Amino acid sequence: MTLVEEYLQIRKYSEQVCEPLQTEDYVVQPVVDVSPPKWHLGHTTWFFETFILKPFSSNYQVYNDDYNFVFNSYYETVGNRVIRTDRGNLSRPGVNEIYQYRAYVDEAMVNFLANALNDEVRELLVLGFNHEQQHQELLLTDIKYILGNNPLFPVYVKDKKEVSVIQNEPGWIDIPAGVYEIGYDGTGFSFDNELNRHQVYLHDFAISKTLVTNAEFLEFIHAGGYENFNYWHSEGWDWVKSNHIASPMYWHLMDGEWFNYTLGGLLPVDLNAPVSHISYYESYAYASWKGMRLPTEFDWEVAAKHFNWGERWEWTESAYLAYPGFSKAPGAIGEYNGKFMVNQKVLRGASIATPQNHSRITYRNFFHPHLRWQYTGIRLVK
């Protein structure tokens, strides 16, 4: 596949994810962590325009100078107009205007990519691909949040499944103690936070081949897991109490039966599916109730070649920290990952919202421990 083909394929996929939406669905931002779909479409476009076309494509005409106000991730204002606003308050630019913006930038990019590219541009281009793919994952989970918190429970796509692969046979994988290599060492793209490849000493452990299922998580609920502070971190317990948490997100108890909002609509909870939309706090409490623990991200990276993964992002016990020798790229691109390395937990794997070929065994995702809108899951270690 040529770079142009890859560019067009990735750009098209963002639009495909939005195809089932009505115009209104593109606009809202129900909570701060969820961005409006139209913002994702504009922001990923602004990324290519700002970091590739403006600096490297001579004669490129910026589509609209004002878009910097609305599609910059930080909303720091430029020039005279200082207006503090949130993404979900912005009705303009409208959805059609943003699709026109995408078309304009795509045309300019296709022309630009016909030229010989130097290494710096190539690197930025691949970063742009990966950046858009990260947003594709958020796009789907943000859409789920927008639809799933509407009292009409609108269907995204009829019969849309949230489980795609066959789970492994139940069982445990034993990993012996020793020094292991961790981090990316391939020749393709990786994020700065996957570098450098380095050594970690692991003690022996056994890791489950399978993710915890809804049936298993229901046992935790029935055993009073949400009402016993002994299973929880102190901050997790505060979170449970002050938010009245008593089940995974999207679960609704209706006339004694548990229902689950999925992209295919509101359905009875699928007992065999892996539990999803749980916080780190809930993952920890579940493991604690079982007398087991979550894997560290290093446990996971070493063991993951021995089981199927990719259905749920898996919470690990590890805090999101720099690897030995970590260094930031210079300039705005360098802001990418390092500044988030405090108060967050690492997730490993991928989820059914992850675009194909986007994830790898060394990929490190990270979220604050209370967040639940991603397809998160639990794998146990003993």
Residue 225 touching a second copy (CB under 8 A):
no
Task: Give the three-class secondary structure for 150.
Answer: coil
**Contact window for a second copy (CB under 8 A) among 28-36, 101-109, 213-221, 307-315:** 28-36
Decide if 53 contacts 109 (C-beta within 8 A).
Answer: yes
Interacting residue with a second copy among 206, 340, 361, 371 (CB under 8 A): 340
Residue 89 interacts with a second copy (CB under 8 A): yes or no = yes
The piece of 7-15, 115-123, 158-166, 234-242 that touches a second copy (CB under 8 A) is: 234-242
- Strand partners of residue 181: 199
Interface with a second copy by CB under 8 A: which range of 47-55, 152-160, 161-169, 304-312?
152-160
Of 48-56, 131-139, 187-195, 198-206, which part binds a second copy (CB under 8 A)?
A: 198-206
Judged by CB under 8 A, which stretch of 44-52, 76-84, 206-214, 303-311 contacts a second copy?
A: 76-84
Tokens of 313: 């992002």
What is the nearest approach in angstroms of a second copy to the Cβ of residue 48?
A: 21
Residue 147 touches a second copy, criterion: CB under 8 A: yes
* DSSP for residue 348: E
State which of residues 3, 8, 173, 321 lies at the interface with a second copy (CB under 8 A): 321
30 touches a second copy by CB under 8 A: yes
3 state DSSP class of 300: helix
Q: Of residues 7, 48, 51, 69, which one binds a second copy by CB under 8 A?
A: 69
154 is a contact residue toward a second copy (CB under 8 A): yes
Q: List binders of a second copy among 246-275 (CB under 8 A).
A: 252, 254-255
Q: Can you tell me which of 156, 217, 280, 375 binds a second copy, judged by CB under 8 A?
A: 280
27 binds a second copy (CB under 8 A): yes
Of 208-216, 220-228, 267-275, 277-285, the window that binds a second copy (rule: CB under 8 A) is 277-285
Q: Give CA–CA dist 56/77, Å, rounded.
A: 24
Residue of 47, 232, 300, 313 that binds a second copy (CB under 8 A):
232
- Candidates 50-58, 85-93, 104-112, 184-192; binding stretch for a second copy (CB under 8 A): 85-93
324 binds a second copy (CB under 8 A): yes
Q: Is 125 a residue that touches a second copy (CB under 8 A)?
A: no
The C-alpha atoms of residue 105 and residue 61 are separated, in whole angstroms, by: 10
Size of the site for a second copy (CB under 8 A): 71
- Taking the complex as a whole, the smallest distance from the CB of residue 325 to a second copy amounts, in Å, to 7
**Residues 72-79: contacts with CB under 8 Å, at least 24 apart:** 72/43, 72/46, 73/43
Beta-carbon contacts of residue 24 (< 8 Å; ≥ 6 apart): none
Q: Which is nearer to a second copy, 130 or 318 (CB)?
A: 318
Query: For residue 325, is it left (φ>0), alpha (ψ between -120 and 50) or beta?
Result: left
What tokens appear for 25 in the block?
A: 């669905």
The token duo for 311 is 């259905």
| By CB under 8 A, residue 234 contacts a second copy | yes
In the complex with a second copy, the residue whose CB is nearer, 7 or 69, is: 69
How many angstroms separate the CA atoms of 288 and 225, rounded? 10
- CB nearer a second copy, residue 203 or residue 305: 203
**70 touching a second copy, by CB under 8 A:** yes
The SS3 of residue 16 is helix
Nearer to a second copy, 198 or 290 (CB): 198
- 291 vs 119: CA distance, rounded Å: 51
Q: Hey, is 330 helix, strand or coil? A: coil
Is 279:369 a contact under the CB 8 Å cutoff? yes
In which residue are the tokens 């021995």 written?
306
Runs of H (alpha helix) within the chain: 3-18, 37-48, 54-56, 67-71, 95-113, 119-148, 214-222, 234-243, 280-290, 297-303
The two tokens of residue 32 are: 């701060």
Tell me if residue 192 falls in helix, strand or coil: helix
Residue 146 or 211 with smaller CB distance to a second copy: 146
